[in-house]
Amino acid sequence: MSINIIRRSFSLGLAAVTFAAMLATAPQAFADSSLLNVSYDPTRELYKSINAAFAADWKTKTGETITINQSHGGSGKQARAVIDGLKADVVTLALAGDIDAIAEKAKLLPADWATRLPHNSTPFSSTIVFLVHKGNPKAIKDWGDLAGQGLEVITPNPKTSGGARWNFLAAWAWANKAYGGDEAKTKEYITNLYKNVPVLDTGARGSTTTFAQRGIGDVLISWESDAFLALDEFGADKFEIIVPSISIAAETPVAVIDENAKANGNEKLAKAYLDYLFAPAAQKIAAHQHYRPSDPSAADPADLAKLPKIELVNINDAFGGWAKAQKTYFSDGGVFDLLYKPRS
């Protein structure tokens, strides 16, 4: 019986492999070249639209048909995959620290990669907001409410998720301001906040699923873009977005992985792709998908109107840049780890 099943699943598997091989080779028969963009978790929908637009644009300009392959996952995991040998031509990650890691550990691009494109190589950014159940039954208005007793907060694990690190730092920035820079009080607030977290998912999408689909928690700390997407996906009658008094400018930078692009013969294409992200067409798409464009002039005013005005702190000014923030808060034995240390 079981041998039968093994045999059957084997032939099924074989069929699947053959089919996948057909899929993989079919576009290549027509495509002149292909590009691999390794990105973070919640950008699937964004790059799907942008890639289609870019491929069409490239076709009219050069006559070449190109395929752009996407890879998505937690930002840190994606960076590690590139370091370990995933042949990404370009990376579009959740935070600069992850691209720094690629430059530092694998030397696949220069350390000053961020200066090669405008706005610290950030074509569009996002910020951190709250998603709550419709009608806001727990009356959550600002960061301070999240540390209250008897509340459940959903946010991913900052150790594995880039978005989660932005969440943590945004909460920290609020507390730092609210308590006038008193670090002990800020830490106490953060500890209470994370005590309210019943599930630490490994990525931002996982947290959105936990909150929106599994119905766990009273509030989700989320990428603004993902919060809007959840409204579209699960219905604006179920959830609503709460904008806190202060948040963080979550810069999600992009870079060409020079060594890989060179090896793949994609240098020109990779550079053109990233330039396109800063061009009006891509800016417009990004704004439509609820990202904050670096060049708002190209965006549809109706899309911009949906993005609320929030006081945003900047990672460099408030935390001294990613290298420092990473080391202080998220490294082994850092502030985040201490939150979960048993009191001795």
Partner 1 sequence: MTLGITMTALCLIVLIPLSALVLRALSVGPEAFWDITSDPRTLAALKLSFGAAFIAAAINMVFGTLLAWVIVRYRFAGRKLIDAAIDLPFALPTAVAGIALATIYAPNGWIGAVAKELGFKIAFTPLGVVLALIFIGLPFVVRTVQPVLEETELDIEEASALLGASRIRTIFQVVLPQIYPAFLTGTALAFARGVGEYGSIIFIAGNIPMVSEIAPLLIVIKLEEFDYAGATVVATIMLATSFILLLAINRFQAWGQNKIGNV
Catalog residues that contact partner 1 under the rule CB under 8 A.
Answer: 1-2, 5, 9, 74, 76-77, 80, 83, 101, 105, 157, 159-160, 197-202, 206, 213-216, 330-332, 337, 340-342
- C-alpha 144/C-alpha 315 separation (Å) is 21
> Which residues, 6+ apart, have CB-to-CB distance to 246 below 8 Å?
143, 170, 173, 174, 177, 310, 311, 312, 313
Complex with partner 1: residue 127 or 157, whichever CB lies closer: 157
- Of 11 and 245, which CB lies nearer to partner 1 in the complex structure? 11
Least spacing, CB of residue 286 vs partner 1, in Å: 27
CB 24 to partner 1: min, Å = 20
Q: Between residues 20 and 26, which has the closer beta carbon with respect to partner 1?
A: 20
Smallest gap from residue 1 Cβ to partner 1 (A): 6
Nearer to partner 1, 12 or 56 (CB): 12
Among the listed residues 177, 181, 123, the one whose alpha carbon sits nearest the alpha carbon of residue 312: 177
Question: Closest distance between partner 1 and the C-beta of residue 228, in Å?
Answer: 23
User: What span, in angstroms and rounded, lies between the C-alpha atoms of 76 and 95?
Assistant: 9
User: Least CB distance from residue 199 to partner 1, whole Å?
Assistant: 5
**Distance from C-alpha of 201 to C-alpha of 93, rounded to nearest angstrom:** 18
Is the Cβ of residue 70 or residue 209 nearer to partner 1 in the bound state? 209
Q: Work out whether strand 128-133 and strand 239-242 pair parallel, antiparallel, or are unpaired.
A: antiparallel
Q: In what order do the strands lie in the sheet with 33-39?
A: 66-71, 33-39, 90-92, 254-256
**Helix (H, G, I), strand (E, B), or coil: what is residue 221?**
strand
